[in-house]
């Protein structure tokens, strides 16, 4: 094939195919022309050298621009992702900061009686749920049985009313303290609410509340013997103290 038979369209297509897979940092016009001769099966392209060099330059500029646009697109995506993550992180920090602020404010308003009352109510709610479940089970069982009534003969005993037993609230009933609690209070028995109240007073008198989160108490040597941990949540103390009360 003679050199005059090669159209510009063929040259552009062939040069682009060569440069697309080539390393543009080391590729030269001479190397491209040599590959082009082999690709087009021609011996000499000297008559079109200037034209070929111009096409090579245009194709390289085109490929560089394409790569640059791709890089900018990736960078824009990365920037958007970083901005989104930063905004999300700041939003989380703001929510956590508001929550900690609310927790701290509410903790400062807690009194000894208030804490004891709250813990008392929590325990009563738990007992009520258990009682309701037991009643439901008993009603289901008793519905299957036939009710029997017995009539008693008139007698002096039938007119007498039996004294009603006073039911003591388990929370107010004195409990036997463990050795650790007995050593701490100097007493062997104490009601649950009184245990909570006095521990709470001890924490406040000795400034043992965690300054970062006042819902937690940092144990000194005395409390460490009782709770067995360096830090505990005030509203969860009854779960830990349960093993110390009988």
> Is 80 a residue whose pLDDT tops 90?
no
**Looking at per-residue confidence, does 31 or 159 come out higher?**
31
Torsions phi, psi for 212 (to 5 deg): -80, -30
Question: Is 151 inside any structural domain?
Answer: no
Q: Whose structure tokens read 């011996």? A: 43
The overall pTM is greater than 0.85: no
Q: Whose structure tokens read 């007995």? A: 182
Q: Whose structure tokens read 């209070």? A: 185
Confidence of residue 124 (pLDDT cuts 50, 70, 90): confident
Question: Is 226 inside any structural domain?
Answer: yes
> Is 193 a residue whose pLDDT tops 50?
yes
Give how many domains the chain has, as a whole number: 2
Confidence of residue 125 (pLDDT cuts 50, 70, 90): confident
What percent of the chain has a predicted confidence (pLDDT) above 90? 27
Question: Is 61 inside any structural domain?
Answer: yes
Angle at 186 between CA 180 and CA 191, to 5 degrees: 80
What percent of the chain has a predicted confidence (pLDDT) above 70? 63
Q: Where residue 188 sits, what CATH number does that domain have?
A: 1.10.245.10
CA end-to-end span of the chain, whole Å? Answer: 108
Are 32 and 15 in contact by the 8 Å Cβ rule? The answer is yes
> Is 220 a residue whose pLDDT tops 90?
yes
pLDDT tens for residues 197-210? 999 999 999 999 99
Which pLDDT score is estimated for 105? 43
Question: Is 221 inside any structural domain?
Answer: yes
How deeply is 110 buried, as exposed, middle or buried, from its count of CB atoms within 10 A (0-12, 13-18, 19+)?
A: middle
**Looking at per-residue confidence, does 95 or 221 come out higher?**
221
Question: Is 187 inside any structural domain?
Answer: yes
Range of the domain at 214: 174-242
Which of 37, 66, 95 is at the close of a domain? 66
Question: Is 97 inside any structural domain?
Answer: no
The DSSP symbol for 183 reads H
Mean pLDDT, residues 104-120 taken together: 55
Question: Is 78 inside any structural domain?
Answer: no
Longest dimension (CA), the chain: 141
Question: Is 222 inside any structural domain?
Answer: yes
Mean pLDDT, residues 161-168 taken together: 54
**Looking at per-residue confidence, does 146 or 106 come out higher?**
146
What string of DSSP letters covers 36-92?
HHHHHT-S--GGGHHHHHHHHHHHHHHHHHHHHHHHHHHHHHHHHHHHHHHHHHHHH
Q: Please tell me the distance from the alpha carbon of residue 245 to that of residue 176, in angstroms, as a whole number.
A: 6
Confidence of residue 190 (pLDDT cuts 50, 70, 90): very high
């Amino acid at each position: 094939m003679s050199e005059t038979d090669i159209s510009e369209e063929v040259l552009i297509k062939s040069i682009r195919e060569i440069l697309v897979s080539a390393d543009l940092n080391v590729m030269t016009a001479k190397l491209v022309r040599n590959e082009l001769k082999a690709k087009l099966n021609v011996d000499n392209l000297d008559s079109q050298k200037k034209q070929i060099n111009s096409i090579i330059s245009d194709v390289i500029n085109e490929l560089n621009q394409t790569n640059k646009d791709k890089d900018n697109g990736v960078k824009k995506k990365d920037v958007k992702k970083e901005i989104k993550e930063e905004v999300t992180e700041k939003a989380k920090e703001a929510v956590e900061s508001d929550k900690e602020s609310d927790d701290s404010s509410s903790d400062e308003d807690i009194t000894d009686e208030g804490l004891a009352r709250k813990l008392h109510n929590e325990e009563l709610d738990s007992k009520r749920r258990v009682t309701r479940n037991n009643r439901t089970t008993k009603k289901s069982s008793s519905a299957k049985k036939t009710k029997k009534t017995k009539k008693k003969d008139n007698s002096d005993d039938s007119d007498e009313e039996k004294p009603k037993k006073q039911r003591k609230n388990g929370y107010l009933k004195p409990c036997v303290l463990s050795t650790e609690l007995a050593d701490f209070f100097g007493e062997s028995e104490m009601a649950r609410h009184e245990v909570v109240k006095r521990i709470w007073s001890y924490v406040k008198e000795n400034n043992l509340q965690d300054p970062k989160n006042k819902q937690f108490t940092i144990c000194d040597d005395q409390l460490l013997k009782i709770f067995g941990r360096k830090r505990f949540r005030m509203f969860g103390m009854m779960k830990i103290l349960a093993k110390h009360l009988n």
